[in-house]
């Protein structure tokens, strides 16, 4: 088991990662749960698959109230948050009640938002059950819901008290979900942790097979890399945007596809391929084309679904409405060399459009 910490302006978040984390969690959270109402937010499917894994924690609470939402991005709506707040009030929730999210990134994003706003904020714990959530979404305190015009456009920073990333829970994930999470690992490793990138390259087969022992150190290393970035820039003022590598186009692809056909990590993979292509075109000081080639070789091994037919002008429209856009326009996160990326602003829409045209014809060129 790997234990990490993330210090933020509001306190400290502790992260436990590895196989069997949930079995050890009650000792850590006994005092936090004692005598409290514990709201457990999950989906019916996850409760059926893994609900028993929470028994040790639930026994420590004064009482447990189950809250349910559907799977996937559909859960991240203001209407769902309002329903949950009403249910929590009806159940007698108080300022010192607790909330636990048990699910993937969508459940965690929604649950963190609900916890951050309920009675002006209650404490919560995340138990992420997907690889994508364990390595990225559950770490860093960003919460949010979607609007029709964009993903995570309403939200706040509200860090969990603990993140319990038990890699044993990943055994039931389909290969596509593991692939999606590993893309986020590659995103961080390429620009922040070269040793982690080599570990993914060397152990990709075991990682894609969901081996909990192989996944443990990878989850811990990816979470550790993100913690270092978040501590340096807790509210995404500047440096934290380095974590958006692949996300500018990735989010636009998701929006254009109405969050169908590609998983989040798969869209981000195509976003990284495009960012590498854009970096090659701009060829800024220190640029090493070898990193782009290395990423293409690795991502080919992932067996990504084909990129559906998309319209470049529509994608540009989604990008200009992205929540990370500023009055000065988009800041692209571009790879420069292994372990080194940069934020580049002022890239003209004409340049992006030209590159998009070729990219959409052949993303791997």
Is the Cβ–Cβ distance between 61 and 33 less than 8 Å?
Answer: yes
pLDDT value at position 326? Answer: 60
The one catalytic residue among 142, 151, 161, 277 = 142
The one catalytic residue among 179, 187, 247, 263 = 247
Give the chain's radius of gyration (CA, Å). Answer: 20
The residue behind tokens 């934020």 is 343
Reading the block at residue 228, the tokens are 């270092």
Q: Determine which helix (DSSP H) or strand (DSSP E) holds 274, and give its type and residue range.
A: helix 264-282
The one catalytic residue among 73, 123, 177, 184 = 184
pLDDT value at position 308? Answer: 96
The one catalytic residue among 161, 226, 263, 277 = 226
Is the Cβ–Cβ distance between 133 and 104 less than 8 Å?
Answer: yes
76 included as an active-site residue: no
pLDDT value at position 149? Answer: 76
283 included as an active-site residue: no
The one catalytic residue among 236, 254, 266, 355 = 236
pLDDT value at position 276? Answer: 97
The one catalytic residue among 158, 264, 266, 355 = 264
In the three-class reduction of DSSP (H, G, I as helix; E, B as strand; rest coil), residue 50 is classed as helix
Domain segments of the chain as ranges? 2-174, 177-211+227-361
Is the Cβ–Cβ distance between 279 and 334 less than 8 Å?
Answer: yes
Class of domain 177-211+227-361: mainly alpha
Q: What is the pTM of this model?
A: 0.92
Domain 2-174 has CATH 3.30.360.10: no
142 included as an active-site residue: yes
DSSP 136: I
Residue 201: Cβ-neighbour burial (10 angstroms; 0-12, 13-18, 19+): middle
pLDDT value at position 125? Answer: 98
The one catalytic residue among 123, 179, 244, 277 = 244
Q: Which residues of the chain have pLDDT under 70?
A: 322-329
264 included as an active-site residue: yes
314 included as an active-site residue: no
236 included as an active-site residue: yes
Residue 290: Cβ-neighbour burial (10 angstroms; 0-12, 13-18, 19+): exposed
The one catalytic residue among 251, 254, 263, 277 = 251
158 included as an active-site residue: no
Closest CA to 88 of 68, 109, 108, 61: 68
């Amino acid at each position: 088991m790997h234990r990490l910490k993330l210090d933020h302006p509001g306190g400290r978040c502790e992260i436990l990662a590895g196989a069997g984390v949930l079995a050890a969690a009650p000792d850590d959270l006994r005092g936090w749960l004692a005598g409290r109402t514990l709201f457990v937010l999950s989906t019916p499917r996850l409760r059926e698959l893994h609900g028993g894994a929470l028994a040790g924690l639930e026994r420590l609470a004064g009482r447990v109230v189950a809250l349910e939402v559907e799977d996937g991005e559909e859960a991240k709506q203001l209407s769902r948050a309002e329903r949950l707040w009403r249910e929590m009030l009806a159940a007698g929730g108080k300022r010192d009640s607790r909330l636990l999210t048990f699910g993937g990134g969508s459940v965690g994003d929604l649950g963190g938002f609900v916890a951050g706003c309920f009675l002006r904020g209650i404490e919560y714990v995340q138990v992420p059950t997907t690889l994508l959530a364990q390595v990225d979404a559950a770490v860093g305190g960003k919460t949010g819901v979607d609007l029709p015009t964009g993903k995570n456009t309403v939200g706040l920073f509200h860090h969990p008290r603990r993140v319990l990333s038990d890699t044993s829970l990943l055994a039931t994930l389909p290969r596509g979900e593991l692939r999606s999470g590993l893309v986020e690992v590659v995103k961080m490793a390429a620009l922040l942790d070269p040793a982690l990138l080599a570990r993914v390259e060397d152990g990709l087969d075991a990682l894609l097979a969901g081996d909990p022992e192989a996944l443990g150190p990878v989850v811990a290393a990816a979470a550790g890399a993100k913690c270092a970035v978040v501590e340096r820039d807790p509210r995404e003022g500047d440096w934290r945007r380095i974590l958006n590598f692949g996300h500018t186009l990735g989010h636009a692809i998701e929006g254009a596809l109405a969050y169908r056909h590609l998983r989040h990590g798969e869209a981000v993979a195509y976003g990284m391929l495009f960012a590498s292509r854009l970096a090659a075109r701009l060829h800024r000081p220190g640029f090493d084309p070898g990193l782009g080639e290395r990423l293409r070789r690795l991502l080919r091994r992932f067996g990504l679904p084909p990129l559906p037919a998309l319209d470049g002008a529509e994608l540009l429209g989604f990008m200009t409405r992205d929540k990370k856009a500023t009055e000065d326009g988009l800041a692209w996160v571009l790879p420069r060399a292994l372990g080194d990326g940069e934020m580049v602003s002022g890239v003209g829409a004409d340049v992006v459009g030209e590159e998009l045209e070729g990219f959409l014809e052949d993303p791997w060129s």
